[in-house]
Structure 1
Amino acid sequence: MPITLMKSLRNITTINQIVGVVGRRTFAAGGAKKKGSKGAAAADAPKASLLSKEVKSTTVFGANILKDGQDPKILPDSEYPDWLWHLLDKRSPLSELRRKDIESLPYEDLKRFVKLDNRARIKENNSVKAKN
């Protein structure tokens, strides 16, 4: 009887250990390097690219999202739509839009002014209500 009890206890501890290991949150090994370690300088150094300069200048490397696809080729600027070149243009902040005459604003700036003004009014009303 004591032998069967010992075997059952061994099984219980093994199951508890398995549950503990499975239920534990772990992180990848080697995630944090010590500042003074010898391998840290080599790991932080930029790696030499395996792609030639010709391939880098003609294709968008890493833009392929399809399993069997290829990386897209870089086209000349005339092949892209005009709106693409204006995506990174700086847009006027609300303070500058308030200084301008509303009647003379283009439609896009007027739409932006209304949106930003509404947002500012809502924030102001919320802060007033929060103080009371």
Structure 2
Amino acid sequence: MPIIRLNSLRSITISKGIVGVVGRRTFAAGASKAKKGKGGAADGPKASSLSNEAKSTTVFGANILKDGQDPKILADSEYPDWLWHLLDKRPALSELRRKDIQTLPYDELKRFVKLDNRARIKENNSLKAKN
């Protein structure tokens, strides 16, 4: 099945002995008429129809259910403790290698083993690919 790109179609026209190649553009003609000025926006920024109270108490756009509602923002004490540590920086493999393995906490030791295994697998795969 041939694939045709509409923006690069060309047609040959023959009229009274003149042969020419005519390019066909497939862009929407009405889009450029709505623009006013250099910025490209027809109107200025639109004001939000939501009140400040609603913005500060609801997470808009988080609803995934058809008949559901957007969730309300709760107090910090209502969320689990692990949530506040998701964005904490964790040490890289090179930093973990410099530390004494015997004194590492369980979470860092587990991370070290995972990252070290991943690095060894990548190294073995690159050696096999060269041979």
- 1:126 deviates by 1.1
Local SS of the residue matching 1:41: coil
Q: Any idea what SS the aligned residue of 2:94 has?
A: helix
**How is 1:1-132 mapped onto 2 (pairs within 5 angstroms)?**
38=36, 41-42=40-41, 46-132=45-131
**112 and 74 in structure 1: CA distance in 2 versus 1, 3 angstrom threshold:** same
CA distance in 2, matches of 1:44, 1:111: 55
Amino acid corresponding to residue 84 of structure 1 in structure 2? L
Give the partner amino acid of 1:126.
N
List gaps (5 residues or longer) in structure 2.
Answer: 7-26
Q: Percent identity?
A: 80
* Residues 53-80 of structure 1 deviation map (CA, whole Å, 9 limit, x = unaligned): 1101000111112222211110110111
Q: Give the distance between the partners of 1:105 and 1:99, measured in 2 at CA.
A: 11
The alpha-carbon distance between structure 1 residues 68 and 121, as it changes in their structure 2 partners (threshold 3 A), is same
Work out the CA distance in 2 between the residues paired with 1:65 and 1:41: 33
Deviation at 1:44, TM superposition (A): 9.5
Count, aligned residues: 104
Letter aligned with residue 59 of structure 2: V
Distance 1:67 1:100, change over 3 A: same
Q: Distance in 1 between matches of 2:42 and 2:115?
A: 46
Distance verdict in 2 for CA 1:112–1:38, change over 3 Å: same
- 8 Å CA contact 2:36, 2:42 repeated in 1: no
TM-score (norm 2): 0.68
How far, CA to CA, are the matches of 1:68 and 1:42 in structure 2?
Answer: 34
Cα distance change on mapping 1:99 and 1:45 into 2, 3 Å: farther
Misfit runs of 4+, over 4 Å: 43-46
* 1:117 to partner: Cα distance: 0.3
Question: Scaled by the length of structure 1, what TM-score is found?
Answer: 0.67
